[in-house]
Amino acid sequence: MKKTLLVAAVAGLMLSACASHHAHLRNADPLNTLVSVADGKQIVVSQEPIYVAKGMKDVRITWHVSPDSKYTFGKDGIVVAEAREEITDCRAAPDGMSFSCLNRHTKAGKYKYTVTLTGTPAVAPLDPIMVND
């Protein structure tokens, strides 16, 4: 009886640990992307590509670094290539912890953008993709 109770208790603890371990996994939100630096070497974005579905017009996409990050966005933290009329009004928040752009989404297409972070050690920019369906 004691052995069965112990096995049940251990199994319950293991299952609850798995559930809490995966609590951070959420459905992708195309309007909010997390940006981090892995091992102080490489910028990583939580969504690649950022996918904006049909019908989502004039939406603001925001990239966020975590509050405890030693990296921030500068004035040109996000630069979208060849999308001057489609992706506009790009700007960093005053504290540099987020950066947003207005996606007018007037036409379908793929847009390469560059993520640049400021911090130490310096990290190379990353060039992911945004897709307007």
Give me 125's structure tokens. Answer: 């920019």
- Position 52 in a domain: yes
- 125 lies in which domain range? 28-132
Q: Compute the average pLDDT of residues 111-133.
A: 97
Q: How many domains does the chain have?
A: 1
C-alpha neighbours within 13 Å on the C-beta side of residue 54: 1
- pLDDT tens, 78-118? 999 888 899 999 999 999 999 999 999 999 999 999 999 99
The pLDDT assigned to 32 comes to: 97
Cβ distance 100 to 111 under 8 Å? no
Q: Does the residue 19 lie in any domain?
A: no
| Residue 108 contacts residue 53 (beta carbons within 8 Å) | no
Pairwise CA distance, residues 114 & 129, whole Å: 9
Instruction: Decide if pLDDT at 133 tops 70.
Output: yes
pTM value is: 0.78
Residue 17: inside a domain: no
Asked whether residue 6 is assigned to any structural domain, the reply reads no
Domain contains 72: yes
- Residue 55's pLDDT band (boundaries 50, 70, 90)? very high
Domain assignment present for 9: no
How high is the pLDDT of residue 104? 97
5-38 pLDDT, tens digit each: 333 333 333 334 433 333 344 567 989 999 999 9
* Domain of residue 61, CATH code: 2.60.40.420
Any domain includes 2: no
Q: Which residue has the tokens 């190379």?
A: 124
Residue 110 in domain: yes
